[in-house]
Protein backbone atom coordinates (compact mmCIF):
# COMPACT_ATOMS: atom_id res chain seq x y z
CA UNK A 1 0.00 0.00 0.00
CA UNK A 2 1.50 3.29 -0.99
CA UNK A 3 1.01 6.66 -2.59
CA UNK A 4 1.31 5.20 -6.09
CA UNK A 5 -1.79 6.33 -7.95
CA UNK A 6 -1.77 6.48 -11.78
CA UNK A 7 -3.65 9.54 -12.97
CA UNK A 8 -6.82 8.87 -14.96
CA UNK A 9 -8.48 11.70 -16.84
CA UNK A 10 -12.29 11.61 -17.13
CA UNK A 11 -11.88 12.08 -20.89
CA UNK A 12 -9.15 9.46 -21.29
CA UNK A 13 -9.71 6.49 -23.56
CA UNK A 14 -9.59 3.05 -21.96
CA UNK A 15 -6.08 1.67 -22.43
CA UNK A 16 -4.90 -1.92 -21.99
CA UNK A 17 -3.32 -0.84 -18.71
CA UNK A 18 -6.74 0.08 -17.34
CA UNK A 19 -8.12 -3.39 -18.16
CA UNK A 20 -5.46 -5.19 -16.12
CA UNK A 21 -6.70 -6.31 -12.70
CA UNK A 22 -3.31 -6.31 -11.03
CA UNK A 23 -0.05 -4.49 -11.63
CA UNK A 24 3.45 -5.13 -10.39
CA UNK A 25 6.92 -3.68 -10.68
CA UNK A 26 10.12 -3.46 -8.68
CA UNK A 27 9.06 0.07 -7.68
CA UNK A 28 5.70 -1.07 -6.27
CA UNK A 29 7.31 -4.02 -4.47
CA UNK A 30 9.90 -1.73 -2.91
CA UNK A 31 7.17 0.61 -1.64
CA UNK A 32 5.26 -2.36 -0.20
CA UNK A 33 8.32 -3.56 1.71
CA UNK A 34 9.12 -0.05 2.95
CA UNK A 35 5.52 0.44 4.08
CA UNK A 36 5.64 -2.89 5.92
CA UNK A 37 8.86 -1.96 7.72
CA UNK A 38 7.69 1.53 8.63
CA UNK A 39 4.04 0.95 9.51
CA UNK A 40 3.89 -2.71 10.58
CA UNK A 41 7.29 -3.46 12.10
CA UNK A 42 7.62 0.12 13.40
CA UNK A 43 4.47 0.03 15.58
CA UNK A 44 5.43 -3.46 16.81
CA UNK A 45 8.78 -2.13 18.03
CA UNK A 46 7.04 0.96 19.44
CA UNK A 47 4.62 -1.25 21.36
CA UNK A 48 7.53 -3.11 22.96
CA UNK A 49 9.05 0.25 23.95
CA UNK A 50 5.69 1.36 25.37
CA UNK A 51 5.59 -1.63 27.72
CA UNK A 52 9.25 -1.20 28.65
CA UNK A 53 8.51 2.45 29.51
CA UNK A 54 6.11 1.28 32.23
CA UNK A 55 9.17 0.60 34.40
CA UNK A 56 9.64 4.36 34.85
CA UNK A 57 6.56 6.06 33.38
CA UNK A 58 3.03 5.82 34.77
CA UNK A 59 0.14 4.58 32.66
CA UNK A 60 -2.87 6.27 34.23
CA UNK A 61 -6.40 7.41 33.36
CA UNK A 62 -5.12 10.10 30.98
CA UNK A 63 -3.06 7.63 28.95
CA UNK A 64 -5.94 5.14 28.91
CA UNK A 65 -8.36 7.85 27.79
CA UNK A 66 -6.07 9.05 24.99
CA UNK A 67 -5.53 5.48 23.77
CA UNK A 68 -9.24 4.61 23.76
CA UNK A 69 -10.15 7.94 22.13
CA UNK A 70 -7.61 7.53 19.33
CA UNK A 71 -8.52 3.86 18.82
CA UNK A 72 -12.22 4.66 18.65
CA UNK A 73 -11.95 7.64 16.31
CA UNK A 74 -9.47 6.11 13.87
CA UNK A 75 -11.30 2.77 13.84
CA UNK A 76 -14.42 4.59 12.65
CA UNK A 77 -12.27 6.13 9.92
CA UNK A 78 -11.50 2.61 8.68
CA UNK A 79 -14.74 0.68 9.19
CA UNK A 80 -17.13 3.50 8.29
CA UNK A 81 -14.96 5.63 6.01
CA UNK A 82 -12.57 3.42 4.07
CA UNK A 83 -14.69 0.26 4.19
CA UNK A 84 -18.40 0.98 4.22
CA UNK A 85 -18.31 4.32 2.40
CA UNK A 86 -15.39 4.45 -0.04
CA UNK A 87 -15.18 0.72 -0.85
CA UNK A 88 -18.83 -0.34 -0.86
CA UNK A 89 -20.66 3.01 -1.18
CA UNK A 90 -23.25 1.72 1.29
CA UNK A 91 -24.46 5.23 2.12
CA UNK A 92 -24.04 8.77 0.86
CA UNK A 93 -22.44 11.71 2.62
CA UNK A 94 -21.13 15.20 1.96
CA UNK A 95 -17.69 16.42 0.91
CA UNK A 96 -16.62 17.46 4.41
CA UNK A 97 -17.27 13.97 5.76
CA UNK A 98 -15.43 12.43 2.80
CA UNK A 99 -12.37 14.52 3.62
CA UNK A 100 -12.58 13.65 7.32
CA UNK A 101 -12.93 9.95 6.52
CA UNK A 102 -9.74 10.03 4.44
CA UNK A 103 -7.72 11.92 7.04
CA UNK A 104 -8.90 9.90 10.05
CA UNK A 105 -8.83 6.54 8.26
CA UNK A 106 -5.28 7.16 7.05
CA UNK A 107 -4.13 7.58 10.67
CA UNK A 108 -4.43 3.79 11.13
CA UNK A 109 -1.53 3.39 8.64
CA UNK A 110 -3.15 0.64 6.56
CA UNK A 111 -2.38 2.44 3.32
CA UNK A 112 -3.94 5.43 1.53
CA UNK A 113 -7.63 5.26 0.75
CA UNK A 114 -7.18 4.40 -2.95
CA UNK A 115 -4.92 1.45 -2.13
CA UNK A 116 -7.22 0.27 0.68
CA UNK A 117 -10.27 0.40 -1.57
CA UNK A 118 -8.75 -1.45 -4.53
CA UNK A 119 -7.27 -4.22 -2.38
CA UNK A 120 -10.55 -4.75 -0.57
CA UNK A 121 -12.57 -4.81 -3.78
CA UNK A 122 -10.10 -7.35 -5.12
CA UNK A 123 -10.64 -9.42 -1.95
CA UNK A 124 -14.42 -9.45 -2.43
CA UNK A 125 -14.10 -10.37 -6.09
CA UNK A 126 -11.82 -13.33 -5.27
CA UNK A 127 -12.77 -14.10 -1.67
CA UNK A 128 -10.99 -17.29 -0.57
CA UNK A 129 -10.09 -18.09 -4.19
CA UNK A 130 -6.39 -18.44 -5.08
CA UNK A 131 -6.32 -14.81 -6.23
CA UNK A 132 -7.54 -13.49 -2.86
CA UNK A 133 -4.65 -11.37 -1.52
CA UNK A 134 -5.16 -12.45 2.09
CA UNK A 135 -7.10 -15.70 2.34
CA UNK A 136 -5.96 -18.00 5.19
CA UNK A 137 -7.30 -21.08 3.40
CA UNK A 138 -4.63 -21.93 0.81
CA UNK A 139 -1.82 -23.42 2.85
CA UNK A 140 -2.92 -27.05 3.10
CA UNK A 141 -4.31 -29.20 5.89
CA UNK A 142 -3.01 -29.80 9.39
CA UNK A 143 -2.23 -27.55 12.33
CA UNK A 144 1.07 -26.18 11.03
CA UNK A 145 -0.42 -25.23 7.66
CA UNK A 146 -3.45 -23.70 9.38
CA UNK A 147 -1.14 -21.50 11.45
CA UNK A 148 0.78 -20.55 8.29
CA UNK A 149 -2.48 -19.57 6.59
CA UNK A 150 -3.63 -17.48 9.54
CA UNK A 151 -0.24 -15.76 9.76
CA UNK A 152 -0.34 -15.00 6.04
CA UNK A 153 -3.81 -13.44 6.29
CA UNK A 154 -3.00 -11.60 9.51
CA UNK A 155 0.20 -9.85 8.48
CA UNK A 156 2.55 -11.69 6.10
CA UNK A 157 0.67 -10.79 2.92
CA UNK A 158 1.46 -7.12 3.54
CA UNK A 159 5.15 -7.67 2.76
CA UNK A 160 4.65 -8.51 -0.91
CA UNK A 161 1.40 -8.87 -2.84
CA UNK A 162 -0.10 -8.35 -6.27
CA UNK A 163 -1.26 -4.74 -6.27
CA UNK A 164 -4.85 -4.32 -7.47
CA UNK A 165 -4.96 -1.87 -10.36
CA UNK A 166 -6.61 1.41 -9.25
CA UNK A 167 -7.56 2.20 -12.85
CA UNK A 168 -9.57 -1.05 -12.93
CA UNK A 169 -10.99 -1.30 -9.41
CA UNK A 170 -11.51 2.35 -8.48
CA UNK A 171 -11.73 4.53 -11.63
CA UNK A 172 -14.37 6.87 -10.17
CA UNK A 173 -12.35 7.45 -7.03
CA UNK A 174 -9.25 8.09 -9.15
CA UNK A 175 -11.13 10.66 -11.23
CA UNK A 176 -12.09 12.65 -8.12
CA UNK A 177 -9.04 14.90 -8.08
CA UNK A 178 -9.74 16.28 -4.60
CA UNK A 179 -9.96 12.87 -2.95
CA UNK A 180 -7.09 11.42 -5.00
CA UNK A 181 -4.89 14.34 -3.92
CA UNK A 182 -5.85 13.86 -0.26
CA UNK A 183 -4.94 10.19 -0.63
CA UNK A 184 -1.46 11.16 -1.82
CA UNK A 185 -0.90 13.05 1.46
CA UNK A 186 -1.27 9.73 3.28
CA UNK A 187 2.02 9.97 5.19
CA UNK A 188 1.06 13.42 6.46
CA UNK A 189 -2.17 12.03 7.94
CA UNK A 190 -0.28 9.14 9.58
CA UNK A 191 2.10 11.69 11.14
CA UNK A 192 -0.88 13.76 12.30
CA UNK A 193 -2.27 10.64 13.98
CA UNK A 194 0.97 10.39 15.95
CA UNK A 195 1.22 14.11 16.68
CA UNK A 196 -2.28 14.57 18.13
CA UNK A 197 -1.95 12.06 21.03
CA UNK A 198 1.55 13.39 21.72
CA UNK A 199 0.19 16.92 22.13
CA UNK A 200 -2.77 15.67 24.16
CA UNK A 201 -0.52 13.73 26.50
CA UNK A 202 1.80 16.68 27.03
CA UNK A 203 -0.99 19.22 27.57
CA UNK A 204 -3.10 17.07 29.90
CA UNK A 205 -0.12 15.94 31.99
CA UNK A 206 1.83 19.21 31.68
CA UNK A 207 5.05 17.19 31.33
CA UNK A 208 7.28 15.98 28.54
CA UNK A 209 6.85 12.48 29.94
CA UNK A 210 3.13 12.83 29.28
CA UNK A 211 3.89 13.71 25.66
CA UNK A 212 6.05 10.59 25.34
CA UNK A 213 3.28 8.46 26.83
CA UNK A 214 0.73 10.00 24.47
CA UNK A 215 2.98 9.18 21.51
CA UNK A 216 3.68 5.62 22.63
CA UNK A 217 0.15 4.60 23.64
CA UNK A 218 -2.18 6.83 21.63
CA UNK A 219 0.19 6.75 18.67
CA UNK A 220 2.28 3.66 17.94
CA UNK A 221 0.48 1.17 20.21
CA UNK A 222 -2.86 2.35 18.83
CA UNK A 223 -1.62 1.74 15.25
CA UNK A 224 -0.34 -1.71 16.26
CA UNK A 225 -3.57 -2.84 17.93
CA UNK A 226 -5.95 -1.44 15.28
CA UNK A 227 -3.92 -2.98 12.47
CA UNK A 228 -4.04 -6.40 14.08
CA UNK A 229 -7.75 -6.10 14.80
CA UNK A 230 -8.22 -5.52 11.07
CA UNK A 231 -5.88 -8.45 10.43
CA UNK A 232 -8.05 -10.67 12.62
CA UNK A 233 -10.98 -10.01 10.28
CA UNK A 234 -8.87 -11.22 7.34
CA UNK A 235 -7.60 -14.27 9.20
CA UNK A 236 -9.87 -15.52 11.99
CA UNK A 237 -13.15 -14.49 10.35
CA UNK A 238 -12.40 -16.67 7.34
CA UNK A 239 -11.79 -19.77 9.47
CA UNK A 240 -13.66 -19.67 12.79
CA UNK A 241 -17.08 -18.62 14.04
CA UNK A 242 -20.66 -19.03 12.86
CA UNK A 243 -22.23 -18.77 9.43
CA UNK A 244 -25.74 -17.35 9.11
CA UNK A 245 -25.90 -16.82 5.35
CA UNK A 246 -24.92 -18.73 2.23
CA UNK A 247 -21.82 -17.26 0.57
CA UNK A 248 -19.25 -18.54 -1.92
CA UNK A 249 -16.40 -18.19 0.58
CA UNK A 250 -15.48 -19.16 4.14
CA UNK A 251 -16.56 -15.96 5.88
CA UNK A 252 -17.77 -16.35 9.49
CA UNK A 253 -19.25 -14.19 12.23
CA UNK A 254 -17.20 -13.86 15.44
CA UNK A 255 -19.28 -12.23 18.19
CA UNK A 256 -16.49 -11.71 20.74
CA UNK A 257 -14.45 -9.59 18.31
CA UNK A 258 -17.39 -7.48 17.12
CA UNK A 259 -16.96 -4.65 19.64
CA UNK A 260 -13.17 -4.13 19.34
CA UNK A 261 -13.39 -4.28 15.52
CA UNK A 262 -16.31 -1.84 15.30
CA UNK A 263 -18.63 -4.53 13.94
CA UNK A 264 -16.26 -5.86 11.28
CA UNK A 265 -16.39 -9.47 12.50
CA UNK A 266 -20.04 -9.84 11.56
CA UNK A 267 -18.10 -10.90 8.51
CA UNK A 268 -20.39 -13.56 7.10
CA UNK A 269 -23.19 -10.97 7.19
CA UNK A 270 -20.96 -8.55 5.32
CA UNK A 271 -19.92 -11.00 2.61
CA UNK A 272 -23.53 -12.05 2.11
CA UNK A 273 -24.62 -8.40 1.75
CA UNK A 274 -21.49 -6.33 0.96
CA UNK A 275 -23.45 -3.20 0.06
CA UNK A 276 -25.19 -3.09 3.45
CA UNK A 277 -24.07 -0.17 5.63
CA UNK A 278 -25.04 -2.15 8.73
CA UNK A 279 -23.11 -5.34 9.49
CA UNK A 280 -25.03 -6.33 12.63
CA UNK A 281 -28.19 -7.67 11.01
CA UNK A 282 -29.74 -9.01 14.23
CA UNK A 283 -30.84 -6.74 17.09
CA UNK A 284 -28.29 -8.33 19.42
CA UNK A 285 -25.34 -8.04 17.02
CA UNK A 286 -23.38 -5.07 18.31
CA UNK A 287 -22.09 -2.99 15.39
CA UNK A 288 -20.41 0.23 16.51
CA UNK A 289 -19.73 1.28 12.92
CA UNK A 290 -23.40 0.79 12.07
CA UNK A 291 -24.46 2.82 15.12
CA UNK A 292 -22.11 5.61 14.03
CA UNK A 293 -23.70 5.67 10.57
CA UNK A 294 -27.17 5.87 12.17
CA UNK A 295 -26.00 8.87 14.22
CA UNK A 296 -24.68 10.52 11.06
CA UNK A 297 -28.04 9.81 9.43
CA UNK A 298 -29.91 11.49 12.30
CA UNK A 299 -27.63 14.52 11.95
CA UNK A 300 -28.26 14.73 8.21
CA UNK A 301 -24.64 13.77 7.44
CA UNK A 302 -25.51 10.37 5.92
CA UNK A 303 -28.42 9.37 3.72
CA UNK A 304 -29.52 6.58 1.38
CA UNK A 305 -28.22 4.12 3.97
CA UNK A 306 -28.41 0.67 2.36
CA UNK A 307 -29.81 -2.39 4.15
CA UNK A 308 -30.91 -5.80 2.86
CA UNK A 309 -34.66 -6.38 2.73
CA UNK A 310 -36.37 -9.20 4.65
CA UNK A 311 -36.76 -11.07 1.37
CA UNK A 312 -33.04 -10.78 0.67
CA UNK A 313 -32.21 -12.01 4.17
CA UNK A 314 -34.56 -14.98 3.84
CA UNK A 315 -33.18 -15.93 0.45
CA UNK A 316 -29.62 -16.33 1.74
CA UNK A 317 -30.40 -17.56 5.25
CA UNK A 318 -28.76 -20.89 6.05
CA UNK A 319 -30.98 -23.61 7.54
CA UNK A 320 -30.60 -23.95 11.29
CA UNK A 321 -28.84 -27.08 12.50
CA UNK A 322 -30.92 -29.25 14.81
Q: What is the pLDDT along the chain (322 residues), one digit of tens a residue?
A: 344 444 343 444 445 556 799 998 999 999 999 999 999 999 999 999 999 999 999 999 999 999 999 999 999 999 999 999 999 999 999 999 999 999 999 999 999 999 999 999 999 999 999 999 999 999 989 999 999 999 999 999 999 899 999 999 999 999 999 999 999 999 999 999 999 999 999 999 999 999 999 999 999 999 999 999 999 999 999 999 999 999 999 999 999 999 999 999 999 999 999 999 999 999 999 999 999 999 999 999 999 999 999 999 999 999 876 5
Per-residue CA distances from 142 to 134, 138, 252 (Å): 19, 12, 20
Question: Is 29 within 8 Å of 139 (Cβ atoms)?
Answer: no
3-state secondary structure of 14: coil
* pLDDT at residue 299 in the model: 99
The residue ranges of DSSP E strands in the chain, in sequence order, are 22-23, 92-93, 163-164, 302-303
* pLDDT at residue 320 in the model: 73
Question: Is 303 within 8 Å of 91 (Cβ atoms)?
Answer: yes
* pLDDT at residue 233 in the model: 98
d(CA 109, CA 93): 23
Per-residue CA distances from 173 to 9, 19, 25, 169, 183 (Å): 11, 16, 23, 9, 10
* pLDDT at residue 9 in the model: 39
d(CA 196, CA 202): 10
3-state secondary structure of 245: strand
Amino acid sequence: MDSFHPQVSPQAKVRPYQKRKTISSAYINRIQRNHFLLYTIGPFVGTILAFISLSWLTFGPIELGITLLMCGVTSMGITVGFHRYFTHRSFKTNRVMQVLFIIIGSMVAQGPVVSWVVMHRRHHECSDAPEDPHSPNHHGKGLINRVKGLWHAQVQWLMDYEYANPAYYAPKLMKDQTLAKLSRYYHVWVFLGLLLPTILGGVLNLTWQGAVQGFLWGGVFRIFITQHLTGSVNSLSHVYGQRSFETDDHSHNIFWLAIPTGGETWHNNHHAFPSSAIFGLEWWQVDLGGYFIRVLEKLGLAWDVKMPTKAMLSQKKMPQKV
